Structure 1
Amino acid sequence: MTFDKIYQYNFPTTIRFGAGAIKELPAYLRQHGLKRPLIVTDTTVADLPFFKSIISDLQVHGFAAEVFSDIHKNPVKSDVIRGTEVWDNTSRDCIIGIGGGAALDVARAIVLRTNHREDLFKYDDLIGGDIYVTNDVPHFITVPTTSGTGSEVGRSAIIADDETHQKKILFSPKLMAKIVFADPVLTMDLPSFITAATGMDALTHNMEAFLAKNPHPMCDGIALEGISLIKDSLETATNKPDIQSRSKMLMASMMGAIAFQKGLGVVHSLAHPLSSLLDTHHGLANAVNLPYGMEFNISGFEDKFRRIARTLELKDENGSAVVKYLTNLNSKIGIPHHLRDIGVKPKHVETLADLAFADFAHPNNPKPVSRADFKQLYLRAI
Structure 2
Amino acid sequence: MANKVVLNEVSYHGKGAILSVTEEAKRRGFKKAFICSDPDLIKFHVTKKVTDLLDKEGLPYEIYSEIKANPTIENVQGGVAAFKNSGADYIIAIGGGSSMDTSKAIGIIIANPAFEDVRSLEGLSATTKPAVPIFAIPTTAGTAAEVTINYVITDVEKKRKFVCVDPHDIPVVAFVDPDMMSSMPKGLTASTGMDALTHAIEGYTTKGANTITDMFNLKAIELIAQSLRGAVENTPEGREGMALGQYLTGMGFSNCGLGIVHSMAHGLGALYDTPHGVANAIILPTVMEYNKDAVGEKLRDVAKAMGVANTEKMSKEEYQKAAIDAVKKLAEDVGIPKDLKNIVKPEDVDFLSQSAMDDACRPGNPRDPKLEDIQELFKRLL
Quote the Cα distance in structure 1 between the aligned partners of 2:378 and 2:79.
Answer: 35
2:349 aligned partner, one-letter code:
V
SS in 2 for 1:114: helix
Quote the Cα distance in structure 1 between the aligned partners of 2:276 and 2:328.
Answer: 18
Matched, 1:330 2:331: yes
1:319 paired residue number:
320
Quote the Cα distance in structure 2 between the aligned partners of 1:50 and 1:103.
Answer: 13
| CA offset digits 1:164-206 (Å, max 9, x no partner) | 1333333332222111111110101100000000000000000
Q: Which shows bigger deviation, 44-53 or 247-256?
A: 44-53
How far is 1:245 from its partner? Answer: 1.3
1:34 aligned partner, one-letter code:
F
How far is 1:137 from its partner? Answer: 3.5
| CA offset digits 1:310-340 (Å, max 9, x no partner) | 2223146311111111111111101110111
Matched, 1:374 2:374: yes
8 Å contact kept, 2:129–2:168:
no
2:200 paired residue number:
206
Match among 135, 146, 157 for residue 141 of structure 1: 135
Quote the Cα distance in structure 2 between the aligned partners of 1:29 and 1:64.
Answer: 11
8 Å contact kept, 2:36–2:91:
yes
1:4 paired residue number:
none
SS in 2 for 1:151: coil
SS in 2 for 1:63: coil
Quote the Cα distance in structure 2 between the aligned partners of 1:198 and 1:11.
Answer: 21
2:99 paired residue number:
103
2:268 paired residue number:
274
Q: Residues 73-88 of structure 1 correspond to what in structure 2 (within 5 A)? A: 73-88=69-84
2:211 aligned partner, one-letter code:
P
8 Å contact kept, 2:70–2:269:
yes
2:21 aligned partner, one-letter code:
L
| CA offset digits 1:41-69 (Å, max 9, x no partner) | 11221212231232233123212211111
SS in 2 for 1:153: coil
What percentage of aligned pairs have identical amino acids? Answer: 31
Matched, 1:222 2:239: no
* CA distance 1:376–1:136, change in 2 (3 Å): closer
How far is 1:11 from its partner? Answer: 4.9
SS in 2 for 1:142: strand
User: What is the alpha-carbon root mean square deviation over aligned residues?
Assistant: 1.7
SS in 2 for 1:355: helix
2:370 aligned partner, one-letter code:
S
Quote the Cα distance in structure 2 between the aligned partners of 1:237 and 1:166.
Answer: 31
Matched, 1:152 2:146: yes
2:375 aligned partner, one-letter code:
K
* CA distance 1:78–1:381, change in 2 (3 Å): same
Consecutive unaligned residues of structure 1, counting only runs of 5 or more, are 1-9
8 Å contact kept, 1:223–1:259:
yes
SS in 2 for 1:223: helix
Q: Residues 165-180 of structure 1 correspond to what in structure 2 (within 5 A)? A: 165-180=159-174
1:237 paired residue number:
231
How far is 1:156 from its partner? Answer: 2.5
1:309 paired residue number:
303
2:321 aligned partner, one-letter code:
S
SS in 2 for 1:227: helix
1:25 paired residue number:
21
2:37 paired residue number:
41
Quote the Cα distance in structure 2 between the aligned partners of 1:177 and 1:62.
Answer: 23
8 Å contact kept, 1:302–1:319:
no
How far is 1:33 from its partner? Answer: 1.9
Matched, 1:121 2:83: no
* CA distance 1:316–1:353, change in 2 (3 Å): farther
8 Å contact kept, 2:303–2:326:
no
Matched, 1:358 2:358: yes
How far is 1:214 from its partner? Answer: 2.1
* CA distance 1:351–1:137, change in 2 (3 Å): closer
1:291 paired residue number:
285
Consecutive unaligned residues of structure 2, counting only runs of 5 or more, are 1-5, 312-318
SS in 1 for 2:156: coil
Q: Which shows bigger deviation, 344-353 or 288-297?
A: 344-353
8 Å contact kept, 2:8–2:172:
no
| CA offset digits 1:21-49 (Å, max 9, x no partner) | 11221222122222310001112212122
Quote the Cα distance in structure 1 between the aligned partners of 2:216 and 2:158.
Answer: 35
2:3 paired residue number:
none
8 Å contact kept, 2:161–2:269:
no
Quote the Cα distance in structure 1 between the aligned partners of 2:133 and 2:7.
Answer: 18
* CA distance 1:12–1:88, change in 2 (3 Å): closer
